[in-house]
A and B are shown apart, each in its own frame.
Chain A
């Protein structure tokens, strides 16, 4: 039985100049690379498969299996693309990782590229975080200078070049095929699948796209072994992950723990809900995962149990809201986000998110009708499963789940002819008087 918290990826974040190569190597950095380069690439894939690592970007697809889908007999070059476009509302784990210990990611990129036999890798970082871009650029430069990148890495005969690529502001580019479009210099609109990126991805060549945290977990798996990784977590959700608590808790922040920890334990570690208040609703994995309530405090936070509770583990982005928060306001704001970020490619999402905002706005202002709730659910029904990618599906999650748990609060807005909540009461400066 592992400890409650298991810092691995976060273990060195507090170090002086934690982002430098020298600091990383002092903690055994690039030792796993040496081990990997002495292995057959297929054995590296097997180790990651055996570890049970599942994608940390939200979908939870087994990472080693994804690598195994790369057709090695395809004559085109193979590519590794790191999805560092962290933008899902509530998600804030990859950005601090790349800022504090970018070499964990760079070492993971080299090992992963070696495994899938790629000689070119791209790290696609969202553009709105320039200091993170700087740190990753600098880490890649240091890795080249140390012989961890470039030609004949560590004398192994293996070559790899890495390009750090900054995006330009588009949530949709977190969707892997839209990211590839962005990386090819096009509008970030998702592609129809099949073909899957493993067969025809970047430049129609075999491509693996993995989340930052997935790739950063690889060096520890190679260094300590697949069994070590699999000794943490639950039966089908192995290993550790970074849980990001935000909102109305005493100590918001990053908590790295085995998958399966509960929100009750995490809130307890975070010093409880902010003083004098109680939990009202929360997202387990970002705004695209249906909201949950205090009845779900003891749900193990792994892929299976959160799914069984009617939501998704997603990115472990635990946004916590107390009883001062108006759920209708919260959901309207997320819906406006999806409307803004809809790429426009498919009609259900492009038009549907527009309709959702109109209907929700009326409800929030108290000028709608009770039938609008059924209209909203009908609109959701016309988007969910009918849009091109998961953005449309995600847009419906907060709406349908909030109506499920808080239907009365929607109706209150109608009987009250407006929002019954005081927005100042939810702010961090509430105690200091109105909007100090």
Chain B
């Protein structure tokens, strides 16, 4: 992130320029408000009064209009957020699979309540709603990156690593950036992490693995994974190799769950 001096408690000129840039992406500037508030969080660490004024000023709407939006969406925070926002899914499926136990353990371990930040400013803990990763339950999110198949033990180790400043990687994504850096991506300013992490996690591939092993395909599409193209013998062989590796991984994965 570019460091620019701020003008008398307000937002920097560079931030103003980027806020205008966001508004200009849309046929009507107000459509930029959600990403603009993400950018405010990125530079200010939360939605500040100055940030609200800047958005209102640029969009030509009242600060009450902006506040109304900022208080509607749960990702916008009025209090400072830690370097790492740690979410624990406690919607029904994750809760039942262990999310409730994980959340209780973390509150105890970090000595914070819901939506509170540790004294060192490292971690803000919050229980979150379904994050669309139910096949990896119980799920946690660190700065909105997936941490799949968690247990109370692995959750404690995770937050300890974060507090100690160790590099932590998402189970289906990149190394964990700071909350502010991630808010900048959500504002529509990409970082360079898109190519990190796998295309899919193990649970996303279970159906595909079975189809490949049994030779099941959509009609007239040949081998699974090669729609409209005919695989030669070498290609098929490679595919078989892929399949056996996937099988081994699946078995290892099962072993971990059982153990």
Chain A residues within CB distance 8 Å of chain B = 2-8, 10-20, 27-28, 31, 77, 86-92, 94-96, 99-101, 120, 126-131, 133-135, 137-138, 141, 163-171, 182-188, 203, 220, 223-224, 228, 231-232, 240, 243-247, 250-257, 269-270, 287, 317, 319, 321, 325, 329-330, 333-334, 337, 340-341, 343, 423-424, 426-429, 431, 435-436
Contacts and interface: CB of A to CB of B under 8 A. Distances in A.
B205 interface: yes
B75 A138 contact: no
Contact of A429 (B72, B98, B187, B228): B98
Nearest to B185: A130
Interface string B144-170: 111001011100000000000000001
A252 B75 CA distance: 29
A14 B31 CA distance: 36
Contacts of A138: 190, 194-195
Nearest to B92: A333
B135 A254 contact: yes
Interface stretch (B7-15, B117-125, B218-226): B218-226
A168 B221 contact: no
Interface of B: 25-28, 30-35, 37-38, 59, 68-69, 72-76, 87, 90-93, 95-98, 100-101, 104-105, 128-138, 141, 143-146, 149, 151-153, 170, 172-174, 182, 185-188, 190-191, 193-195, 197, 199-211, 214, 216-221, 224-229, 242, 246, 250, 254, 257-258
Given A166-B34, A224-B228, A330-B96, A2 B219 contact: yes
Nearest to A93: B132
B146 to A, nearest CB: 7
Contacts of A429: 98, 101, 151-152
Contacts of B136: 252
B199 A18 contact: yes
A32 B8 CA distance: 55
Contacts of A6: 211, 216-219
Contacts of B195: 17, 19-20, 138
A359 B100 CA distance: 21
Contact of A87 (B33, B90, B132, B145): B132
A7 B138 contact: no
A133 B204 CA distance: 18
Q: Which 6 A-B pairs have the closest CB atoms?
A: A185-B33, A253-B206, A255-B207, A246-B134, A18-B199, A168-B73
Contacts of B197: 131
Contact of B200 (A5, A14, A428): A14
26 contacts: A5-B214, A7-B218, A11-B224, A17-B195, A27-B225, A28-B228, A91-B132, A101-B199, A120-B27, A128-B75, A130-B185, A131-B145, A131-B197, A137-B194, A168-B34, A185-B33, A232-B219, A247-B96, A254-B205, A256-B211, A269-B207, A319-B92, A321-B96, A427-B101, A429-B151, A435-B105
B69 A28 contact: no
Contact of B129 (A7, A120, A252, A340): A340
Contact of B75 (A95, A169, A171): A169
A187 B69 contact: yes
Contacts of A435: 101, 104-105, 152
A25 to B, nearest CB: 12
A337 B129 contact: yes
A245 B137 CA distance: 11
Given A131-B172, A252-B134, A12 B219 contact: no
Contacts of A255: 206-207, 210
A205 B135 CA distance: 38
B131 to A, nearest CB: 6
A263 B128 CA distance: 29
B59 to A, nearest CB: 7
A13 B199 contact: yes
Contacts of B172: 99, 131
A293 B101 CA distance: 26
A11 B221 CA distance: 10
Nearest to A29: B227
Contacts of B59: 185
A126 B186 CA distance: 10
Nearest to A242: B207
Given A10-B205, A11-B225, A243-B207, 7 more contacts: A7-B218, A12-B227, A13-B199, A127-B186, A186-B69, A254-B205, A436-B152
Contacts of B219: 2, 6, 228, 231-232
A154 to B, nearest CB: 19
B224 A128 contact: no
B203 A170 contact: no
A128 B228 contact: no
Contacts of B149: 428
B93 to A, nearest CB: 5
Contact of A428 (B38, B128, B145, B151): B151
Contacts of B170: 131
B199 A188 contact: no
A129 B144 contact: yes
